[in-house]
Structure 1
Amino acid sequence: MSKRVLVVEDNELNLKLFCDLLKAHGHETHAVRDGRDAFADATAFQPHLIITDIQLPHVTGLDLIASLRVDANLATVPIMAVTAYAGVGDEERIRAAGASAYVSKPISVMRFMEVVNSLLEQPSVSI
């Protein structure tokens, strides 16, 4: 069954890779290049999953996750954080902000899709 996935990523190569992988697995994607547009796009697109980079210009992925978690219509949508900055304590900080999962870059295609599939298979849970 096709699911809607919002992908928030400012790097064009990563954005294309993520969207191509998701489409190859039958999902509908909506790409967002600027974190300032992500909240409005998520509201309009009503995704089953949101994938966001953490290091975005203008609005950090952490700020985006926090704003999504307080919105009644988006609070239960799983969020997968993807980042190249995988330092000590980063995963804990990202999960504390409200991310459902964390994947470090460069991604493993198999790991990326495993996490996507596990998040899409979970029933929505209130955060």
Structure 2
Amino acid sequence: MAKRVLVVEDNELNLKLFSDLLRAHGFLVEPVRDGREAVERARAFAPDLVVMDIQMPHVTGYELILQLKADAALRHIPVMAVTAYAGREDEERLRAAGADAYVSKPITLARFMAAVTELT
């Protein structure tokens, strides 16, 4: 049975790249363009992993991670943060919020898929 990945990314190009890459590796993908919809879509889709951008309008990735981890039905789902922020303190802040993995942009496809594989 294929693993399910919710991809939360406001950049259309990145959303397509991540979704296509995951589908090519046999994952079922639910793309979400707006972080405000992510928690509701996660409840409906029941993903095995959430891959999300951190810098998004309306709801930041930090806020979204906190929302997911505060929800009893969703807190067990691993979260992989994908971000242009590359500082050590940024990674620590993401992990403190509840992110299980951190991949900095620009991504390499091999590193991205290695992180996904490790979490699923």
Aligned to 1:32: 32
Listed as ranges, the gaps of 5+ residues in structure 1 are 121-127
1:60 maps to: 60
Superposition misfits of 4+ residues, deviation over 4 angstroms: none
In structure 2, runs of 5+ residues without a counterpart are none
CA–CA distance in 1 between the matches of 2:118 and 2:37?
Answer: 26
Aligned to 1:124: none
% identity of equivalent residues:
65
**Partners of 2:101 and 2:44 in 1: CA distance:** 23
Given the alignment of the two structures, is residue 113 of structure 1 paired with residue 113 of structure 2, yes or no? yes
* CA deviation vs aligned residue, 1:22-64 (integer Å, no higher than 9, x gap): 0000000000000001110001100000001000100000000
Q: TM-score, normalised by structure 2?
A: 0.98
SS class of match (2:5): strand
Alignment: residue pair count: 120
Alignment of 1:1-127 (within 5 A): 1-120=1-120
Question: Which sits farther off after the overlay, 87-96 or 22-31?
Answer: 87-96
Give the Å deviation of 1:87: 2.5
Q: TM-score, normalised by structure 1?
A: 0.92
Q: Distance in 1 between matches of 2:106 and 2:83?
A: 8
Over the aligned positions, Cα root-mean-square deviation in angstroms equals 0.7
